[in-house]
Amino acid sequence: MQGRRVLVVGGAGYIGSHCALLLQEAGAEITVYDDLSTGYAEAVTGRLVRGDVRDRARLETVLQEGRFDAVMHFAARLLVGESVAHPLAYFDTNVAGTCALLSAMAAADVRTLVFSSSCAIYGEPRTLPLDEAHPFAPVSPYGLTKLMVEQVLDACREREGFRIASLRYFNAAGAHPGGRLGEAHDPETHLVPLALEAAAGWRRIRLFGRDYPTPDGTCIRDYVHVWDLAEAHRLALEALWAGQAGRAWNVGTGTGSSVLEVIAAVERVTGRSVQRDDAPRRPGDPPALYAKADAIRQDLGWIPRHPDLEVTVEHAWRWLQAPRYGRYPRRP
Ligand code: UFG
């Protein structure tokens, strides 16, 4: 990785910023391309170029001038509920934006890409754990945009000479183990930060559904540490540079935790109670989602270093106690 130039599109956001830092620590030279619509300048590693992912001409200039060895693409809208209400904005940013990026990459002859995909492309699981061969039936426009992009990427891999890895994330959580970066969405919708904010006394949390067909009645998800996700990107990039054409890989721990288990972990880590209220099910939430991630282990040697939910929560709590950016009322 030493001296390799990587353009991290969407590198000011939660997952992109962690990946950029990990790649820099591995020796890469990082440029972040981000419009800062949801990301933070303070989260950026390396040089920041401000721009929109749909701005093909600007991307082409940046790519041509930077002589990059690869692109990592994180720039996307990610709120499932919002995608149901405003699907067009999601097709525009997530699908048209990726097409603009791919065209700019082809024009600049940079044909190595790691793409942020999602387990949302599978929809309601028919079998668990979910492996990569599970049928695709996204239930939200958000999931559909990720599936559409994967199909575009397949064509680019087959016909346009691209090498591409798509990483299908399960639930990213946690923060940089040293506290340099963390999760700071605005609005925050994710369970781990919301439960921690409730432990800090800033809010109450709603439990979206207590009547699911799971052992404790709450939804089960696979919470993967964001630093482990970042490591998956590094390994994927190395494989592409070694000559592999790439493919789609699930990135999850393989273990599911229920909403109540997450809250219990938050209470143990913080030593505080999480004030909660029962609430109706959130539309489109399947009862359980967890990964079969054998392929990425076998193909890339990826092993989650932080598989323990409590460690993930601990790192997120450390961040919340001393955040370097984001909008928070005060320290817990
Ligand atoms: N939940 C609550 N209360 C909250 C927030 C979440 O009970 O206030 C529950 C949800 O119902 C769900 C679990 O906690 O069962 C996790 O919810 P998140 O919103 O943290 O994460 P999701 O599983 O909905 O979303 C994640 C990614 C999305 C991706 C989706 C695919 O963040 O980008 O997985 O299913 F689309």
Condensed to tens digits (0 to 9), the pLDDT of residues 41-71 reads: 999 999 999 999 999 999 999 999 999 999 9
Confidence at 330, pLDDT banded by 50, 70, 90: confident
- What pLDDT score was predicted for residue 22? 98
Task: Give the separation between CA 103 and CA 186, rounded to whole angstroms.
Answer: 31
Does 283 score more than 90 pLDDT? Answer: no
Q: How far is the CA of 191 from the centre of ligand 1 (A)?
A: 6
Lowest mean pLDDT among 53-57, 82-86, 241-245: 82-86
Which H or E run includes 151?
A: helix 141-159
Does 229 score more than 90 pLDDT? Answer: yes
Ligand 1: atom nearest CA of 189 is 19
State whether the beta carbon of 204 lies less than 6 angstroms from ligand 1: no
Q: Measuring from atom 32 of ligand 1, which residue has the nearest CA?
A: 171
CATH (residue range 191-221+254-321): 3.90.25.10
List every span in the chain annotated with CATH 3.40.50.720: 5-173+224-251
> CA-based Rg of the chain, rounded to a whole angstrom?
19
| Percent over 90 (pLDDT), the chain | 96
List every span in the chain annotated with CATH 3.90.25.10: 191-221+254-321
Phi and psi torsions of 33, nearest 5°: -115, 115
State how beta strands 220-221 and 163-169 pair: unpaired
Q: Measuring from atom 26 of ligand 1, which residue has the nearest CA?
A: 171
Please, which contacts does 155-163 make with residues 24 or more away whose CB atoms are closer than 8 Å? 156/102, 157/245, 157/246, 160/102, 160/106, 160/111, 161/111, 162/102, 162/105, 162/106, 162/111, 162/112, 162/113, 163/111, 163/112, 163/113, 163/240, 163/244, 163/245, 163/246
Pocket perturbation via mutation, ligand 1, pick of 124, 259, 278 by most ligand atoms within 8 A of CB: 259
Confidence at 331, pLDDT banded by 50, 70, 90: confident
Pocket perturbation via mutation, ligand 1, pick of 140, 208, 224, 276 by most ligand atoms within 8 A of CB: 208
Q: Max Cα separation, the chain?
A: 55
Is the preceding peptide bond at 87 cis, omega within 30 degrees of 0? no
Confidence at 284, pLDDT banded by 50, 70, 90: confident
Condensed to tens digits (0 to 9), the pLDDT of residues 12-35 reads: 999 999 999 999 999 999 999 999
State whether the beta carbon of 291 lies less than 6 angstroms from ligand 1: no
- What pLDDT score was predicted for residue 171? 98
Do residues 300 and 239 lie in contact, with contact meaning Cβ atoms separated by under 8 Å? yes
Our answer to whether residue 33 is catalytic in this structure is no
Q: How far is the CA of 252 from the centre of ligand 1 (A)?
A: 15
CA atoms within 13 A on the CB side of 171: 27
State whether the beta carbon of 237 lies less than 6 angstroms from ligand 1: no
| 107, two tokens | 């024009």
At 161, which amino acid appears?
G
State whether the beta carbon of 78 lies less than 6 angstroms from ligand 1: yes
Confidence at 108, pLDDT banded by 50, 70, 90: very high
User: Average pLDDT, stretch 84-88?
Assistant: 94
Helix (H/G/I), strand (E/B), else coil: 118 = strand
- Single out the catalytic residue among 142, 169, 212, 290: 142
Phi and psi torsions of 166, nearest 5°: -110, 125
User: Average pLDDT, stretch 291-309?
Assistant: 97
Do residues 288 and 257 lie in contact, with contact meaning Cβ atoms separated by under 8 Å? no
At 48, which amino acid appears?
L
Task: Give the separation between CA 315 and CA 230, rounded to whole angstroms.
Answer: 15
Q: Measuring from atom 19 of ligand 1, which residue has the nearest CA?
A: 190
User: Average pLDDT, stretch 182-189?
Assistant: 94
Q: Measuring from atom 18 of ligand 1, which residue has the nearest CA?
A: 190
- What pLDDT score was predicted for residue 1? 85
Confidence at 224, pLDDT banded by 50, 70, 90: very high
State whether the beta carbon of 191 lies less than 6 angstroms from ligand 1: yes
Ligand 1: atom nearest CA of 192 is 20
Condensed to tens digits (0 to 9), the pLDDT of residues 117-145 reads: 999 999 999 999 999 999 999 999 999 99
CATH (residue range 5-173+224-251): 3.40.50.720
Supply the DSSP symbol for 11: T
Q: How far is the CA of 223 from the centre of ligand 1 (A)?
A: 10
- What pLDDT score was predicted for residue 307? 95
CA-wise closest residue to 71 among 30, 25, 14: 30
